[in-house]
Structure 1
């Protein structure tokens, strides 16, 4: 019993280092916790939150990015507080961390001020991560938090002659990955991360489609392709089979595209491949990137008459507004798409249809009733 008391006292001292100057008592903090977190109140908050991220099937990349944001937020010091390292901060009990993270304490503001030198895209990603953390704790991101405007210049899509150059160069290259990767990206519009995560079982060659699992926003979707992609992948499969035996691990057996060492390809290796492809096609490297291929796919759909909703679904955009910005669609182009798709029948057509119906009805009435019954 005495040892247990010492243990409790020891934990009390440890937790005391994490207490703020707030007058909220420990009991009231526990009561302020969301009901779903009550049973976790004494456990390390980061371990619990990371478990939640895995439950939501966040990708490894997303969890890494969220961890960086949570680390910076959790080690932000307010006036009168003692600095805590990340190793110390991540083991704070949920009930104490809940109090420390209350937006009304000013920690969110102090943390935001520390992000000033980062790019707008990075700041937005950090805010998204901390917003998830606060929501898990039962809070919401304060209304005064403004996300910086993000205006990333979009790549100019490849012209018809450039696409032919790229495809021809991919066939000439010694790297057997060049042809299947370029063909797949041009026909599906996959993001580079989605291409890397593609498994052999995700591709349905009979249906000419592929299932993208856990795309951006952790949303699954189906992309389509033609026989060109099927032929390119079928030509790649014998090489893939040999490479998958080099490591004989589960991931190598599943992955559709493997490196020369038998590992699943990664974004960096694809970028290097695209750079070599640009050299082979005699196109400036700045002109060709994985994102350029995706943008070329989307622009091609638009030019061939696809509607925005279809393009949105194939690209995996959460909002159609994103698709419009992505394609840099002007108001005039939007009007053209509308008038091309929204054509009401002319009155003359209606009159013709009515006459045809009248004639059919007259012919029907002239048929003897006995003949109708026999039919």
Structure 2
């Protein structure tokens, strides 16, 4: 019998209150170690992304620092070092700390609240506690991914090509050409990109999965124009991680997501696009919808985007109706064509092509 089966049998004989007071068998050998280090290690074992780990630990910090009536406030430096056994008791839902913490989250949006609850639920389950039944994740309003219209896209390209910042063109071009996440873009090393093969290797993407992304001659041109500038900036880096980066700041440092967003904000101003409508992820969505409207199937788009589930990719079906609208309005403006008596069995080529596009969207 393995330890999971033994623990499951043990828990079946315990009441909910008893289960919350007993340290799980799997954690007993860790009982004297700092809980925070052990939990973060578990998150890494589960291959949670750096972004997820950062979000989870922030929630764990605020939860653990929530004081109950009669308790003295404790610093994070102190709380992060207490043992697994002691923190197991501190986090016991029956003591009311979860209730007190949840009461501080009332002003959060549904998405932010969901993220906090997900983090707390993971922590409680890892500690062997049950998640209280009254904790329910709020339903989120279903929103479609933001994409750029053709006019906005044209203005953005012009702004990036004419920008004084030499990073503008390669960043915008690569994002629109590959659909990379901003974290993946920043993680690209110079040796990861193959201009001859028109491909790039994404190492350790979301979920720590590697994948290959493709690009066109537009990216080749943008990168080739950037490389001489990168070479001069690389002299400032010395050695280490920055030295390998494809995209370097003026100080010779690897670009990070915050720096990329600031650059995108400036381009939004130059393009007369509201900043709220433009982000690196907007360009990722624009890439995906562009593929869909040109006839790419969902499985191909899923692989290029690095989605673990095709259900995530399927949302783009709902925003591909721009093509549907254009076909409809063009058809409404065009008078019907009478079939030729000499070729009555052949349907109009344009109508057939439009039908195929509409079928793909459906």
Rg (Cα) greater in structure: 1
> Which residue in 1 is equivalent to 2:298?
308
Match of 2:170 among 167, 171, 180: 180
1:123 to 108, 113, 116: 113
TM-score (norm 2): 0.74
For 1:330 and 1:155, locate their aligned partners in 2 and report how far apart those are by CA, in whole Å.
Answer: 11
Instruction: Say whether residues 1:267 and 2:257 are aligned partners.
Output: yes
Provide the C-alpha distance between the structure 2 equivalents of 1:99 and 1:288, rounded to a whole number of angstroms.
46
Work out which of the residue numbers 280, 291, 298 in structure 2 matches 1:290: 280
Q: In the alignment, which residue of structure 1 is the partner of 2:75? A: 85
2:24 equivalent in structure 1: 33
How do 1:219-368 and structure 2 match up within 5 A? 219-325=209-315, 328-329=318-319, 339-340=359-360
Q: Report how many aligned residue pairs link the two structures.
A: 315
1:100 to 78, 86, 90: 90
Q: Does 1:197 align with 2:216?
A: no
- RMSD over aligned CA atoms reads 3.4
Q: Cα distance 1:154–1:24, how it changes in 2: closer, same or farther (>3 A)?
A: closer
CA distance in 2, matches of 1:148, 1:24: 29
Task: Calculate the TM-score normalised by the size of structure 1.
Answer: 0.72
Cα distance in 1 between the residues matched to 2:137 and 2:174: 35
- 1:264 and 1:188 mapped to 2: Cα distance? 20
| Structure 2: 5+ residue stretches without partners | 1-16, 325-354
Secondary structure of 2:29's aligned partner: helix
Distance 2:100 2:358 in 1: 47
Q: CA deviation at 1:24?
A: 7.1
1:277-336 deviation line (CA, Å, top 9, x unaligned): 2344444544433232122111101101112232233223343333333553489x8x98
Determine if the alignment matches structure 1 residue 159 to structure 2 residue 149. Answer: yes
Q: Alpha carbons of 1:82 and 1:288: their partners in 2 closer, same or farther (altered >3 Å)?
A: closer
Deviation at 1:184, TM superposition (A): 0.4
- Retained in 2: the 8 A contact 1:70–1:130? yes
Asked whether the equivalents of residues 41 and 93 of structure 1 are also in contact (C-alpha less than 8 Å), the reply is: yes
Contact 1:34 1:138 in 2 (8 A): no
Ranges in structure 1 where 5+ consecutive residues have no aligned partner: 1-22, 343-375
